[in-house]
Chains A and B, each alone.
Chain A
């Protein structure tokens, strides 16, 4: 149980995907202007990350390793993710068309989200987690991602009303906010 808590907290706070590992930055700066879409994006990404981790773990341990073709992992993992996102896209289109349009182009873009490929690489090739630990890690990573995305969009919504210097508006000030959030989060180090 201790291990699971350690892994989970590690992924959410201590080694936060966005603020510490630098994974998932593109949507971070692209979708974080309003709270609503930010949270939806966070949940969608968490979902994809978890399913992708499960799928890639199974493939890695039951196909790639036994057949001695581990070097194929990059190609296989990204294809799995691309397929997954396609399926999810079709599913959302069929069941909730409003949500589909709300996501817009950002749904297929989840395929190129470094956080998704990142978590699959992390649990399989870097950390070599067991099946259950992988799922915990993926959920934690996704939650951490969503958390920071939500914080960021809340702050940026307020920033819209502030008098930001012209050259700072938009992306630059978002980075400064990220700096401060990152500094705050680094206080979690050594927690476990």
Chain B
């Protein structure tokens, strides 16, 4: 009798353990199934953005947070990620460098700015201003630079400009130190 009662009392916990065991197995299985695809995707996203910025890219290296872009044997330029503090959150920017003084261009990876206003930082007139610009000139026109802010989105524009300028200067310093 006591043994039977013990089993009855333990039943809830036994069932819970069984359910948990099944759950863990199912999850591990699904993880194995999807893990490679997910990792490959992240890699592909970066690669797509880099090749759009450097059309002749054949391969790239990634070291110390800086991408070095090659076309066969020749070095095409560099790229890195800059993060700006925008109106609605972080703005992730991919910045391309032609060499140690000139910006190749920028691509906005992700942002949470106000639709229709701040989100214009991802669009053509604003973004194109960075192409071929000297790093020294990366600043808002009101601060003596060459970038015109988007009307009524000065915070978003300034966030991008500051992030690009500051990070570019940082990375260039790193590159020079390594030579």
Chain A interface residues toward B at CB < 8 A: 15, 69, 71-72, 75, 189-190, 192
Contact = CB atoms under 8 A, between A and B. Distances in A.
Contacts of A69: 28, 31
Contacts of B24: 72
Contacts of B155: 190
Contacts of A75: 23, 27
B23 A189 contact: no
Contacts of A72: 24, 27
B155 to A, nearest CB: 5
Contacts of A189: 87-88, 114
Contacts, number: 17
Interface of B: 23-24, 27-28, 30-31, 85, 87-89, 114, 155
8 contacts: A15-B88, A15-B89, A69-B31, A72-B24, A75-B23, A189-B87, A190-B155, A192-B85
User: Secondary structure of the A side of the interface?
Assistant: loop
Contacts of B27: 71-72, 75
Nearest to B24: A72
Contact of B31 (A15, A71, A190, A192): A71
B92 to A, nearest CB: 13
A189 B87 CA distance: 6
A190 B88 CA distance: 7
Contacts of B30: 71
Q: Which 3 A-B pairs have the closest CB atoms?
A: A71-B31, A190-B155, A190-B87
Contacts of A190: 87, 155
Contacts of A15: 88-89
B27 to A, nearest CB: 6
A126 B155 CA distance: 23
Contacts of A71: 27, 30-31
A192 B89 CA distance: 10
Nearest to A189: B87
Contacts of B114: 189
Nearest to B20: A75
Q: Which of A15, A71, A72, A75 has the most CB of B within 10 A?
A: A71
A167 B93 CA distance: 48
A159 B31 CA distance: 51
Contacts of B28: 69
A72 B26 CA distance: 11
A75 B30 CA distance: 14
A75 B87 CA distance: 33
A164 to B, nearest CB: 32
A15 B30 CA distance: 34
A122 to B, nearest CB: 11
